[in-house]
Amino acid sequence: EPEVTQTPSHQVTQMGQEVILRCVPISNHLYFYWYRQILGQKVEFLVSFYNNEISEKSEIFDDQFSVERPDGSNFTLKIRSTKLEDSAMYFCASRKDRGGGELFFGEGSRLTVL
């Protein structure tokens, strides 16, 4: 069964460092998403991506965040200068269409900022 894969599964970094989280969405999917979930809290939307550009982003997705699809398969989330409050589980997700299709999640990348 096709799946969304994410790397790394866990990353520990120092405050102020740059982090890149990687995702490989399901190959025939067109819409890509990043969500984050702070421990014990709800899943929060960060950004959606379609046709090689950001289609929507939340207030959380400020200038320290960026996304890219560098090679047609990977979908990356970059956090330029990490803060303590960026510690969370980051989930990548993809789906085939926007109308109503199921959103498939990766297993997540746990980011710990010290």
Partner 1 sequence: RKEVEQDPGPFNVPEGATVAFNCTYSNSASQSFFWYRQDCRKEPKLLMSVYSSGNEDGRFTAQLNRASQYISLLIRDSKLSDSATYLCVVNDYKLSFGAGTTVTVRA
Chain length of the chain: 114
CA dist 62 and 14 (Å) reads 20
The vertex-21 CA angle with 97 and 18, nearest 5°, equals 135
Q: Does 100 bind partner 1 (CB under 8 A)?
A: yes
Binding pattern for the stretch 8-47 against partner 1, x by CB under 8 A and - elsewhere: -------------------------x-x-----xxxxx--
Contact between 102 and partner 1 by CB under 8 A: the answer reads: yes
Indicate which single residue of 9, 17, 55, 81 sits in contact with partner 1 (rule: CB under 8 A).
55
Quick one: 13 or 105, whose CB is closer to partner 1? Answer: 105
Q: Does 78 bind partner 1 (CB under 8 A)?
A: no
> Around Cβ 26, how many Cβ atoms within 10 Å?
18
| Residue in 5, 13, 58, 76 binding partner 1, rule: CB under 8 A | 58
**Alpha-carbon distances, residue 72 vs 24, 28, 52, 92, 98 (angstroms):** 9, 11, 9, 15, 19
* Among 82, 112, 104, CA closest to 9: 112
Report the interface residues with partner 1, using CB under 8 A. 33, 35, 41-45, 48, 55-56, 58, 89, 91, 98-100, 102-108
